[in-house]
C-alpha cells in the first residue's frame, strides 16, 4: 500500500503542474492567441477550480471506492488549487490592472463576481497555510478537519464566480455546480459497512499429550 500511496502522490504532484507549465511555455512562445492576458487569467482560474473540486472528490472516492491510496494526495490538490488561484489573481492584478490598487478596487466594486472570486481565494489562504503535518499536529485533528471543511465554501464561491463571469453559455459552470452538489451530498450518505467474514472458533486446548 505504501508504494501505491507514494506513486499516487508523485503522479498527482507532477501531473497537476503540467497545465501550468504548458501555459508558461505557450506564453513564452507567444502562442496564447489574440488576447494572451485574458487567456492566461481565465486558464489559471479554471485550473484552480478544477483542482479544488478534485481535492474535494478524494474523500468520497476513498469512502465509496476504497481508494485509500488516493487520500494522501488530497492536500496536494488543495495546494495546487490555491497556487493556481493565486496566479489567477496576480495575473489580473499585475497584467490587467497594471499593479494599481485603485484600479483593482474600482474594478471589484463594479463587478461583483470579482469580489466573490476574491473571497474564495481568501478562504483558501488559511487552508493552504495549515496544510503541513506540523500544523495538523498544532491544531489537532478535529479542529483541522473543521477548518478544512471551508474548502466547500471556497468551491461554491468559485463556481459562482465562474457562473457570473461567463454570463451567456452557463453549461460548464452548471456542470461544476452539479458535481460539487454531488460531492456535498455524498458527505451525508452513510457508507455501507463491509461485512467481515465470520471468525473461526479457536481450537480447544487439550493440554500436553499423555505419555
- Using only C-alpha atoms, the chain has a radius of gyration, in whole angstroms, of 23
Average pLDDT over residues 131-149: 93
- The pLDDT, as a whole number, for residue 204 is 42
Predicted confidence band at 195 (pLDDT cuts at 50, 70, 90)? very low
More confident residue, 203 or 113: 113
Neighbouring CB atoms inside 10 A of 174's CB total 13
Residue 144 lies in a domain: yes
Handedness of CA 110, 112, 116, 119 (dihedral sign): positive
| 178 inside domain | yes
- Supply the CATH number for residue 40's domain: 1.20.120
d(CA 160, CA 78): 19
Q: Distance between CA atoms of 74 and 38, rounded to whole angstroms?
A: 29
Has residue 94 been placed in a domain? yes
Confidence of residue 196 (pLDDT cuts 50, 70, 90): very low
Res. 176 pLDDT band, cuts 50 70 90: very high
Q: What is the phi/psi pair of residue 45, to 5°? A: -65, -45
What is the tens place of the pLDDT at every residue in 44-58?
A: 999 999 999 999 999
Number of domains, the chain: 1
The answer to whether position 191 is within a domain reads no
The cell for 119 is: 473571497
Residue 77 placed within a domain: yes
- pLDDT for 192 equals 57
Q: Map residue 193 onto helix, strand or coil.
A: coil
Angle between helix 36-65 and helix 171-186 axes, rounded to 10 deg: 30
What pLDDT digit, counting tens, does each position of 7-45 carry?
888 999 999 999 999 999 999 999 999 999 999 999 999
State yes or no: pLDDT of 193 exceeds 50.
no
Question: pTM score > 0.85 for this model?
Answer: yes
Determine the distance from the C-alpha atom of residue 164 to the mean position of all C-alpha atoms in its chain, rounded to a whole number.
21
Q: Is the model's pLDDT at 202 over the cut of 50? A: no
Has residue 194 been placed in a domain? no
Express as a percent the part of the chain with pLDDT over 70: 90
Q: Look at residue 128 and tell me if it is in a domain.
A: yes
Domain region containing 166: 2-186
Task: Provide mean pLDDT across the span 177-187.
Answer: 94
Asked if the structure places residue 193 within a domain, the reply is no
Amino acid at each position: 500500500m505504501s508504494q501505491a500511496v507514494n506513486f499516487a502522490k508523485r503522479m498527482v504532484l507532477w501531473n497537476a503542474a503540467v497545465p501550468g507549465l504548458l501555459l508558461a511555455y505557450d506564453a513564452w512562445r507567444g502562442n496564447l492567441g489574440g488576447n494572451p492576458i485574458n487567456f492566461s487569467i481565465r486558464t489559471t482560474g479554471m485550473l484552480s477550480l478544477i483542482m479544488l473540486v478534485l481535492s474535494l472528490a478524494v474523500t468520497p472516492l476513498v469512502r465509496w471506492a476504497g481508494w485509500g491510496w488516493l487520500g494522501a494526495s488530497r492536500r496536494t490538490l488543495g495546494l495546487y488549487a490555491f497556487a493556481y488561484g493565486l496566479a489567477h489573481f496576480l495575473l489580473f492584478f499585475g497584467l490587467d490592472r497594471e499593479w494599481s490598487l485603485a484600479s483593482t478596487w474600482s474594478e471589484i466594486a463594479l463587478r461583483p463576481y470579482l469580489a466573490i472570486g476574491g473571497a474564495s481565494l481568501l478562504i483558501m489562504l488559511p487552508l493552504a497555510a495549515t496544510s503541513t503535518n506540523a500544523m495538523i499536529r498544532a491544531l489537532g485533528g478535529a479542529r483541522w478537519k473543521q477548518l478544512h471543511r471551508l474548502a466547500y465554501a471556497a468551491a461554491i464561491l468559485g463556481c459562482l464566480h465562474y457562473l457570473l463571469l461567463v454570463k451567456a453559455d452557463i453549461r460548464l459552470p452548471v456542470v461544476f455546480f452539479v458535481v460539487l452538489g454531488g460531492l456535498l451530498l455524498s458527505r451525508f450518505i452513510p457508507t455501507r459497512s463491509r461485512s467481515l467474514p465470520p471468525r473461526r472458533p479457536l481450537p480447544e486446548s487439550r493440554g500436553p499429550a499423555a505419555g
